[in-house]
Amino acid sequence: MKEFIAEIVSIGRLRHRNLVQLLGYCRRQGELLLVYDYMPNGSLDKYLYNQPKLTLNWSQRFRVIKGVASGLFYLHEEWEQVVIHRDVKASNILLDSGLNGRLGDFGLAKLYDHGTELQTTHVVGTVGYLAPELTRTGEGTPCTDVFAFEAFLLEVACGRRPISQSSTDVILLDWVYSCWRKGDILEAKDPNLGSDCVAEEVELILKLGLICSQSEPEARPTMRHIVQLLEGDIPFPRMSSLRLSSSGIAFSHRTGFDEFSMLYTSSLNNKFSHSSSAEASLLSGGP
């Protein structure tokens, strides 16, 4: 109980425009409940799946994606501690009165100090959003949040759940990858979007989903780089060597991925600090 209250107090101090504000907790019939700000437009998933009349256009979806990315970047790098959300998905993204996306439900979140590692003993999260290494280590990290963010990206762009609930299960990641391999990744986009969307932005999100889903945690971009990619501040890596295997998506060799690997290496060297001038030069294409 002391650990629970300590974490609630810490999470309650989080302040970001794309996070749902945690107000406190209460007991009800033996259960501990977290209390958040009320979000009048409910969760994002009902706009994607349950109520077709409430569909969001592409501009609104893209704004939600960028907002959630910004919120996760804050949790991983900008706050006084590292916060691993561990359950990033559309049903945990709430929409405020302006249809801005806010990441909520910190019931599974874990905190640890910068420069240390979080060790967990059991796997938590939602099937379809779980990074492959979690089944081996049970260790939640920023990389596992990035993998879950991949599933979120694809469900927003495609209007489909990560794993379909039909009689013939379809894994969304595999389907998007097959569309990319055929040279028509936009085939995977949500048909409800129609032609009223920016094709380049949709393609960016779909490809970013593939990049974030890599089987090796160290090969995934950080949330810092994801925000920069979404804002167009750094170039998108070439994907010519991307392949799908039984263990997940990976690059079969480094060719075509060097520039992104350099960005990731720079991130590791500056993981728990603000960007140094050297990193800023690298990210901007400098020497």
Measured CA to CA, the distance from residue 198 to residue 58 in angstroms comes to 8
| Cα dist from 6 to 1, 16, 22, 139, 221, whole Å | 8, 20, 13, 21, 31
- Taking each helix axis from N to C end, the angle separating 199-212 and 172-181, rounded to the nearest 10 degrees, works out to 120
Catalytic position from the list 37, 45, 87, 184: 87
By the 10 Å C-beta count (0-12 exposed, 13-18 middle, 19+ buried), 58 is classed as: buried
Let me know if 87 is a catalytic residue: yes
Nearest to 220 by CA among 206, 231, 209: 209
What secondary structure letter does DSSP report for 189? Answer: S
- The first and second tokens of residue 268, run together, are 């590791």
Name residue 244's amino acid: L
By the 10 Å C-beta count (0-12 exposed, 13-18 middle, 19+ buried), 250 is classed as: middle
User: How large is the C-alpha radius of gyration of the chain?
Assistant: 19
Active-site annotation, residues: 87
